[in-house]
Structure 1
Amino acid sequence: MLLFNGTRRSLAHLTKPSSSHLRGVSTKLFINGEFVTSQASEWMDVRDPATQKLVTRVPKTTASELEEAAKSAQSAFTTWRRTSVMTRQRVMLDLQQAIRDNTDRLIESIVAEQGKVVSDARGDIIRGLQVVESMAGIPELMLGSRLDVAADMDTYTVREPLGVVAGICPFNFPALIPLWMIPVALATGNTLLLKPSERDPGAAMILAELCADVGVPRGVLNVVHGAHETVDFLTSDQRVKAVSFVGSDRAGKYIYERSTQHGKRCQANLGAKNHAVILPDANREHALNAITGAAFGAAGQRCMALSVAVFVGAAGDWIPELVDRARKLKVDGGMEPGADLGPMISPEALQRAKTIVQAAAESGASVLLDGRNVKVAKYPNGNFLGPTVLDHVTVDMQCYQEEVFGPVLSCVRVATLDEALALVNANVYGNGASVFTRSGPCARKFQAEVGAGQVGINVPIPVPLPMFSFTGNKGSFLGDTNFYGRSGVNFYTQLKTVTSLWRHEDAIEDRQSAVHMPTLH
């Protein structure tokens, strides 16, 4: 990598064998380029969702530590913003390689703290890594525009960073969501105060370590922990110019309102209720396999999880086959070979999902596959809920109205595509919706008329790659500018417009060089 003094060093030292140092010890803060032990009086336990064993303890960052982190970020901004865009591009190139070299460490942390299976943890990292790679194109993304507007006068725009920005992350993607924020904020010249989820901070701490190792200067990235008090600081401190948030409705609405009330930009991804509409002419094998993976992967703990399958007409006859596929999925600890889905994040989350399933049954839904009594012999204390399929669900049921955030699929039956579209569009959320069909006209109609912000055609989870942006809408998003891609760059920057006048008659006329001895007058 290129250091700022122009020397180069190898990245080989960044590969470390494990993340065992994260377990059974206190998670540190990362302030001004150093990992420091918090002086907090309150700590939160992080337990392995499969075993309930203590993994680490997370501090509620003290007021003085938050102040120190903000001061560090503000000070670092004065120099980081003036680094060339090529320097920041070089950091992104080195960071993506460092993440690749440390993928196994990140996977180990994610499985231990969040409970994902290895394959899903790897996907968590790779999709975040793609955002880092896209930011290697930051020179083009920072381009302004110029126009001659009159004789001797031109106007041009310069894209500039905002200053200190903050990121508040959820538990379900311990690497991906920090990587929606870190590379975009830093590549555009901002400094970042990052708060990982208090439930699984390990991946974010590894990413902070890698940022330091590839030459991100002290103070450009700071990592703080905590709950309500930390959020209040990040959303009110006058040094913070913008806040990015991904998480639940309640927290997101609070953060958005508090941030905007304090004059900050805010982008907030909230809850979701993603639908897949299955038409009778769809490729049956592809549709059922896709729905099974999208509904139950990651134990359903994804904001883009497919939680509602809308079967149109005769497609409803396929539901028993869907149940058969779901029944074959293996529920196990994240590191176990062949595991398809692991535990839910906490006993409380598990109990809530079970309660919603019970309410659905009592409201008239058919529980075709009940995962509430799944047993995993090796992990008797795990937060396991097996794939659960509910049929004959109606829109007034709790399982339809609320985001379950577990491996629970609600099946709704309708007669026509128009009825399916009306159902999807009436839902308050708008993250994603998909249609499975072989009919081009039906796919075109769905694309044109559906209200969700991200549309899949024979694709169950239509999350765009980072050359685009994450464009959830309706009740799933608060703000004006979306995450990553060009929208992300726009969120973390502001335009300055310059109009200049240089009169041509003021140009100094070229003169022939004098070669004679000058004389004094």
Structure 2
Amino acid sequence: MYQVKNLINGDMVASTSGRDNAIFNPATGEQIGAVGLSSEAEINQAVAAAKAALPAWAALPPAKRARVMFSYAALVREKADDIAREISREHGKTHDDALGEVTRALEVIEYACAIPELLKGEFSRNVGSGIDTHSERQPLGVVAGITPFNFPAMVPMWMFPMAIACGNTFILKPSERDPSAATFVCELLVQAGLPKGVINVVHGDKSAVDTLLDHPDIKAVSFVGSTPIAEYVYRRGTDSAKRVQALGGAKNHMIIMPDADMEQAADALMGAGFGSAGERCMAVSVAVPIGEETATKLVDTLKPKVEALKIGPSTDEAAEMGPVITAEAKARITGLIDSGVEQGADLVVDGRGFQLQGYEGGYFFGGTLFDKVKPDMDIYKTEIFGPVLSVLEPQSFESAVKLINDHEYGNGTAIFTRNGDAARKFSSGIEVGMVGINVPIPVPVAFHSFGGWKRSSFGSHGIYGPEAVHFYTRLKTTTTRWPEGLSEGAVFTFPS
């Protein structure tokens, strides 16, 4: 077994708190390591290191900060397979899926390399007689990120490259369930030439989260996780006068119009619904075919595909889906499927009894397909976060749009159609932050920004992209005049 350490002021340091969290291999159910849960004193030490490193790093020209990001991007590209193995070992997702996670993270690092351009301010000459005005964006200071288990490398790298490139120093608190990948990618950043103290990693549980949210030297917090925790982080962080972006849960719908290519739509649902065992905040968990005939065709097309899912450990190159993260997650998913059956949904494919030979102790779960789901059922209202796809059957496009708009979450959504008018109406009228037109998982590329609506997001800024520059900096505007001659006396009217 191995022990995951903190990264404080450039050094790997084992926690001395005396509290550990076990790390399991989801494919076998066996404990493979442990991570120390940091004490308040250890977190304070990391914050102090970040605060001490801040003045020199913030004063460094953006072009020099960009050079570190260029070196970092090269290291991440070189070590992509190693990072993916770290992800798969503790999370359970397939190696190819983990590599995809690294690729999307790399895009954000590459965007951060453009920071000299992104931080350029504005200048206006002669806003008044002999008066010029210019604006600039300056770093906030020490900032923190609290990240989830489902993307243990990508989500941290959605945060700290942009925060650091903007001139801030950073404290990362990864998920204690699969902390090694996040620690590894931060070690690579130090190897890329980042000065000591600019990036720090502290492992912990709720007490660590609360310490970060309450710490007076931390100016901003970025969070990704479930909606109840996102709301908690937002409220506690803002109560401490911090800038907070907190991304929460989702219930992502995909409308299938009668004119859609059914095979294409079904394949899209398979990847979007069952990839990474459904443990994605952008997973499509609700299919919304329009009309009974479309619904029948869709379910008939999906059923054999779900039954044929290739499920296995990350070491199996043929596997399309791995296990869920923990035994508790497996039990929770089972309970929600039980409730769907009890509440009258039609269980077309049941994944509850799935076992993989040789991996009986693992947290594997079979693909599950429900039909005839109603909006008042728990399997519809709740974010299941597992390989469960529900089919609802509204009779019209308008009722499908209303169904989506009435849901408390508004993270991502999609429509599959050949009808440009329907797609345009959907995109403009849907109350969801990220929309796909014949694209099942519309995660924006790195030079746009990621963010949901309604109870999927708290705070006014999206993550990465241009929104990240605004979140991790504050605006300063300077008005300049170089007067000639003597003073003309005091002016008591408002300046114009």
* Pairwise TM-score range, normalised by the shorter structure: over 0.9
User: Greater CA radius of gyration, 1 or 2?
Assistant: 1
**Cα distance in structure 1, aligned partners of 2:397 and 2:473:** 42
TM-score for the superposition, normalised by structure 1? 0.92
Match of 1:345 among 325, 338, 359: 325
Aligned counterpart for 1:113 among listed residues 61, 82, 90: 90
Q: Which amino acid aligns with 1:324?
A: P
Aligned to 2:29: 52
Contact conserved, 1:334 with 1:342, CA < 8 A, in 2?
yes
Q: Which amino acid aligns with 1:74?
A: K
For 2:431 and 2:376, the matched residues in 1 are separated by: 20
Partner of 2:494: none
Code of the residue aligned with 2:55 in structure 1: it is T
Query: Which of 63, 67, 90 is residue 86 of structure 1 equivalent to?
Result: 63
Q: Structure 1 residue 124 and structure 2 residue 104: aligned? A: no
Q: Does 1:316 align with 2:278?
A: no
Secondary structure at the residue paired with 2:97?
helix
Q: Say if 1:245 and 1:268, in contact at 8 Å, map to a contact too.
A: yes
Deviation at 1:224, TM superposition (A): 0.1
After superposing the two structures, state which structure 1 stretch, 144-153 or 476-485, moved more.
Answer: 144-153
Contact 2:248 2:456 (C-alpha < 8 Å) held by counterparts? yes
In structure 2, the partner of 1:483 is 463
- Find the aligned partners of 2:97 and 2:216 in 1 and give their Cα distance: 38
Residue range with higher mean Cα deviation, 398-407 or 143-152 = 143-152
Cα distance in 1, alignment partners of residues 303 and 195 from structure 2: 52
Segments of 5+ residues of structure 1 without an aligned counterpart are 1-23, 507-521
Q: Secondary structure at the match of 1:414?
A: coil
Secondary structure at the residue paired with 1:413? Answer: coil
Shift of 1:433: 0.9
2:419 to 428, 439, 456: 439
2:183 is matched with 205
Q: What is the match of residue 492 of structure 2?
A: none
Alpha-carbon distance in structure 1 between the residues aligned to 2:321 and 2:76: 24
1:274 equivalent in structure 2: 252
Q: Secondary structure at the match of 2:276?
A: helix
Counterpart pick for 1:62 among 32, 35, 39: 39
Distance 2:95 2:485 in 1: 70
8 Å CA contact retained: 2:262, 2:301: no
Task: Give the letter for the 1:423 counterpart.
Answer: L
Question: Match of 1:184?
Answer: 162
Q: How far apart are residue 115 of structure 1 and its match?
A: 0.4
Runs of 4+ aligned residues of structure 1 deviating over 3 Å after TM superposition are 503-506
Q: Give SS of 1:81's match.
A: helix
- The within-5 A match list for 1:161-172 is 161-172=139-150
1:229 matched to 2:219: no
Q: CA deviation at 1:505?
A: 6.5
Counterpart-to-counterpart distance in 1, 2:54 and 2:41: 20
Aligned residue in 2 for 1:334:
314
Identity %: 43
The one-letter code of the counterpart of 1:72 is A
Q: Secondary structure at the match of 1:307?
A: strand
Which residue in the other structure is 1:253 paired with? 231
* CA displacement at 1:54 relative to structure 2: 2.0
Q: List aligned pairs for 1:399-414, cutoff 5 A.
A: 399-414=379-394
- 1:249 deviates by 1.6
**Secondary structure in 2 matching 1:218:** coil
Q: Are 1:420 and 2:403 an aligned pair?
A: no
| Matched-pair contact (CA < 8 Å) for 1:152–1:504 | no
Partners of 1:248 and 1:344 lie apart in 2 by: 16
1:393 matched to 2:373? The reply is: yes
- Distance in 2 between residues matched to 1:259 and 1:367, nearest whole Å: 42
Is the Cα contact below 8 Å between 2:278 and 2:387 reproduced in 1?
A: yes
Q: What are the Cα deviations for residues 61-116 of structure 1, in whole angstroms up to 9, with x where unaligned?
A: 01221111010000100110000100111111111110011111111111110000
* SS at structure 1 position matched to 2:328: helix
Helix, strand or coil for the counterpart of 2:114? Answer: helix
Tell me the distance in 2 between the aligned counterparts of 1:211 and 1:174: 16
* Deviation (angstroms), 1:503: 3.2
Question: How many Å separate the matches in 2 of 1:53 and 1:387?
Answer: 23
- Report how far residue 150 of structure 1 moved: 1.5
Q: Distance in 2 between matches of 1:370 and 1:263?
A: 48
Instruction: Name the structure 2 match of 1:104.
Output: 81
CA-CA distance at 1:325 after TM superposition: 1.3
Q: CA deviation at 1:251?
A: 1.4
Q: Which amino acid counterpart does residue 470 of structure 1 have in structure 2?
A: F
Instruction: Confirm whether residue 292 of structure 1 aligns to residue 297 of structure 2.
Output: no
Taking the aligned partners of 2:186 and 2:431, their CA distance within structure 1 comes to 38
- Does structure 1 residue 429 correspond to structure 2 residue 409? yes
**Deviation string for 1:316-369 (max 9, x for gaps)?**
122111111121110111111210000000000001001100110111101100
Q: Is the 8 A contact 2:263 2:301 kept in 1?
A: no
Distance 1:481 1:426 in 2: 23
| Matched residue, 2:2 | 25
Rounded Cα–Cα distance in structure 1 between residues aligned with 2:419 and 2:336: 36
Q: RMSD between aligned alpha carbons?
A: 1.0
Equivalent in the alignment of 1:140? 117
Amino acid in the other structure paired with 1:214? A
Alignment match, 2:442? 462
Counterpart secondary structure, 1:367: strand
Aligned to 1:40: 17
Partners of 1:364 and 1:208 lie apart in 2 by 48
What's the CA shift for 1:55?
2.2
* Structure 1 counterpart SS, 2:187: helix
Alignment partner of 1:252: what SS? helix
Give the Cα separation in 2 of the matches to 1:236 and 1:111: 33
Task: Report deviation, 1:25.
Answer: 1.5
Maintained 8 Å contact 1:55/1:112: no
State how many pairs are aligned.
483
Query: Which digits, 9 at most, give the CA deviation of each residue in 1:171-224, with x for residues without a partner?
Result: 000111010111011000000000010000111111111111011000000000
Q: Tell me the TM-score normalized by structure 2.
A: 0.96
1:504 shift after superposition? 5.8
User: What is the match of residue 305 of structure 2?
Assistant: 325
Aligned AA (1:330):
K
